[in-house]
Chain A
Amino acid sequence: MTLNQLTLVQAQAGLKKKKFSSEELVNACLKRIQKVDEKIKAFLTLEAEAVLKKAKEVDKLLAKDEKISETKPLLGIPLAIKDNFCTKDLKTTAGSLVLSDYKPPYDATVVKKLKEAGAIIIGKTNLDAWAHGSSTETSQFFTTRNPWNVNFLPGGSSGGSAAAVAADEVIGAIGSETAGSIRQPAAWCGITGLKPTYGRVSRYGLIAMCSSTDSPGPLTKSVEDACLLLQIIAGYDLKDATSIKTSLPKINLAKFKNLNGLKLGLPKQYFLKELEKEINKALLSAIKIFEKLGAKIKWVDLLEPKYAVAVYTIIQRSEVSSNLARFDGIRYGQDRSFFGEEAKRRIMLGTYTLSAGYYEAYYKKAQLVRTLIMKDFERVFKEVELLLAPATPSVALPLGTTKEAAMFGELQDILFEASSLAGLPAISLPCGFGRDGLPVGLQIIGPSLKEDLILPTAYLYQQVTDWHKKKPKL
């Protein structure tokens, strides 16, 4: 085993016990990137020299002060950041030519928190342009490949972050989800992806896509790692007007031993008839494991996911048209002729649904149905404590699938959109392999602010399974 293969928790423990230095850890990741990223194409920007210098500084700090890791829990650990988070003086493109040379003068709150915790930002990862998509194929730079088979898509929009983690190019990564952009690439790349409650993690400095659902979160090699990163990036932020004041309770996963009595619901409508049969099979095995851990399984009803797809399409396009209006090439970036086709398509639809005469029929109606979706979850969470469902209707699809498929993202994310619209926390975990030997993901959705129930449940599943430990051959 090489150092780049370590989980975040293992890397943290190893650095603390001085089993290796930060320089060695960073070097192992850089070597891996050098070896495989030509194939995987996860990174848009890499900071090789600067990060090695930082790692050496960290090693000096660690030698001088034994207790420094208590206040800086990520000290010396290399992480990758999706390229739609602003990083001070480091190029931030959002995957679009509009921002091809943009160097923000400030850090996103998430980035600031990671830096304060001592993390080393090794580079910025590829994404669908402006996070519009579920494949990285709308990136105006290149398409990232799935480490399990480079002829397949990694998913998206946080596809670069997911692929980098799955290929052991980094110890962990940060992504953002609007409706599936963390959970879907995590599922397709066979890693763990946590989408926190909306407002739990600050959006400040995250290039806005759909402001009412955008949620930053971790993509990691285990639930323990996701839990550790969440506790660092979560928290109220004065700079985000929809930031939540309720603080995240301290979550000590090791104290959870079983799921005795946990009421776990299976939404009938999420076991779609289009579901690939291997996914269905993997889910049935996973359900048995949760049962063995002590959970009480119950089938429940939720609104058909097709309604959420329609609501999300309208609301997301509307917010996109408003958020992307600021890119005028005057204060930063290039002018509006540099937008790619997907961004243009979304701006156009959103401008239409917000325009006089159509607002009531589309945007207003979508907002009303959004209320129904929220109430639907409130009702079901009186019956059960958490929901368990497949993450995606299919495992990773081949490169090129999205060409001329204008609704590709929405239909791939059909099982994520309702929970995103309701702002709920959820996690995606690897639970087997399906067609073409590609990873299958399950998701656990909880009520608002219930990360402290989702994470222990997911953690216990990983304690008795080893899907998350499987590595692609590269």
Chain B
Amino acid sequence: MNSALLPEKEILKIARLANLPLKASEIKKFQKQLSEALAYAAVLQELKTENQSATAQVIRSTNVTRPDEVVASLSQEEALSGSRKAYKGYFKVKSIFK
């Protein structure tokens, strides 16, 4: 597939947005593969969509809420059960301010 290659700078920007650590070999590979996938998507330009509305999901329900009642939920212990970094009943995250 012929397609303009996404610049490396763009790949690094997306990786940062996605919080994804990439290896040097992956950066090169993704430059090529992402460009090819985007080129494939260009077929959509063949179809006219001026008067269409967008479909995000097919059920088309909006603002789905449940009754405002207290229901059973996970205990604190259960909620923390999968964490490697729990501390005194809390999840431990990286510090934001130095």
The interface of chain A, by Cβ under 8 A from chain B, is 102-106, 198-199, 211-212, 238, 241-242, 244, 306-307, 309-311, 313-314, 317, 321, 325, 328-333, 336-337, 339, 341, 344-345, 347-349, 351-352, 355, 362, 364-372, 374, 406-407, 422-423, 448
A349 touching B37, Cβ below 8 Å: yes
Q: Of A212, A344, A348, which is within 8 A of B56 by CB? A: A212
Neighbouring B residues of A371 by C-beta, 8 Å: 49, 52-55
On whether the beta carbons of B49 and A407 are closer than 8 Å, the reply is no
Residues of B within 8 A of A242 (CB): 57, 59, 61, 64
B5 at interface by CB-CB < 8 Å? no
How many residue pairs, one in A and one in B, have C-beta atoms under 8 Å apart? 141
Interface residue? B26 (CB, 8 A)? yes
B58–A307 CB distance below 8 A: no
Given contacts A336-B21, A362-B38, A364-B54, contact A348 B30 (CB under 8 A): yes
User: Which residues of the partner chain B approach A369 to less than 8 Å between Cβ atoms?
Assistant: 44, 47, 49
Residues in B neighbouring A364, C-beta threshold 8 A: 54
Given contacts A199-B59, A374-B58, A406-B37, are A325 and B19 in contact (CB under 8 A)?
Answer: yes
Query: With A330-B83, A355-B14, A364-B54 in contact, is A310–B26 under 8 Å at CB?
Result: no
Contact yes or no, B14 A238, CB < 8 A: no
Chain B, 35-94, CB within 8 A of any chain A CB: 36-38, 40-47, 49, 52-59, 61, 64, 66, 74, 78-79, 81-85, 91-93
Shortest beta-carbon distance from A136 to chain B in Å? 20
Determine chain A's interface SS by DSSP, over half rule. helix
Q: Are A337 and B21 in contact, CB atoms less than 8 angstroms apart?
A: yes
> Would you call B36 and A406 a contact (CB within 8 A)?
yes
* Chain A: CB-nearest residue to B50: A368
| Chain B interface, DSSP helix/strand/loop, else mixed | loop
Contact of B34 among A329, A341, A349, A374 (CB under 8 A): A349
Q: Is the CB of A352 within 8 A of B20?
A: no
Report whether A407 and B22 are in contact in the complex, using a CB–CB cutoff of 8 Å: no
B18 touches A347 (CB 8 A): yes
Q: Per a CB cutoff under 8 Å, which of A244, A355, A362 touches B59?
A: A244
Q: How far is the CA of A102 from the CA of B82 in the complex (A)?
A: 6
State the CA gap A105–B74 with chains docked (Å): 8
User: What are 12 A-to-B residue pairs whose CB atoms are below 8 Å?
Assistant: A106-B78, A241-B61, A307-B47, A310-B44, A313-B41, A317-B37, A331-B82, A331-B91, A352-B6, A364-B54, A368-B54, A406-B33
* Count of residues in B whose CB is under 8 Å from the partner chain: 49
Question: How far apart are B80's CB and chain A's nearest CB, in angstroms?
Answer: 8
Query: Known contacts A310-B40, A313-B37, A362-B38: does B85 contact A367 (CB below 8 Å)?
Result: no
In the assembled complex, the CB of A338 is this many whole angstroms from the nearest CB of chain B, namely: 10
Please name the residue on chain A nearest to B57 by beta carbon: A212
Closest B residue to A335 using CB positions: B21
Additional pairs, 15, CB under 8 Å, beyond known A198-B59, A199-B59: A104-B82, A105-B78, A198-B57, A211-B57, A241-B64, A306-B43, A310-B40, A313-B40, A330-B93, A336-B20, A348-B18, A349-B37, A352-B10, A352-B14, A369-B49
Asked if A106 contacts B74 (CB within 8 A), the reply is yes
Residues of A within 8 A of B24 (CB): none
Residues of A within 8 A of B53 (CB): 368, 371
**Most chain A beta-carbon contacts within 10 A, residue among B20, B52, B93:** B20
> Which residues of A are found within 8 Å of B10, using beta-carbon distances?
352
The answer to whether the Cβ of B4 comes within 8 Å of any Cβ in the partner chain is: no
Complexed CA–CA distance, A369 and B46 (Å) = 10
Known: A336-B21, A369-B49. A422 touches B58 (CB 8 A): yes
Between B15, B19, B82, the greatest number of chain A beta carbons within 10 A of the residue's beta carbon is seen for B82
Residue of B nearest to A306 (CB): B43
Known: A333-B82, A352-B34. Is A366-B44 also a contact (CB below 8 A)? yes
The smallest beta-carbon distance between B15 and chain A, in angstroms, is 7
Indicate whether B96 reaches chain A with its CB closer than 8 angstroms: no
Q: Are A105 and B47 in contact (CB under 8 A)?
A: no
A contact residues around B46 at 8 Å (CB): 307
A413 nearest CB across to chain B (Å): 14
Measured between beta carbons, the chain B residues less than 8 angstroms from A347 are 18, 20
B58 near A198 with CB under 8 A, answer yes
| B residues near A325, Cβ cutoff 8 Å | 18-19
**Residues in chain A near residue B11, CB distance under 8 A:** 348
Docked CA distance A211–B85 (Å): 29
Q: How far is the CA of A24 from the CA of B91 in the complex (A)?
A: 45
Q: How far is B45's CA from A330's CA once the two chains are assembled, in angstroms?
A: 41
Which residues of the partner chain A approach B43 to less than 8 Å between Cβ atoms?
306-307, 310
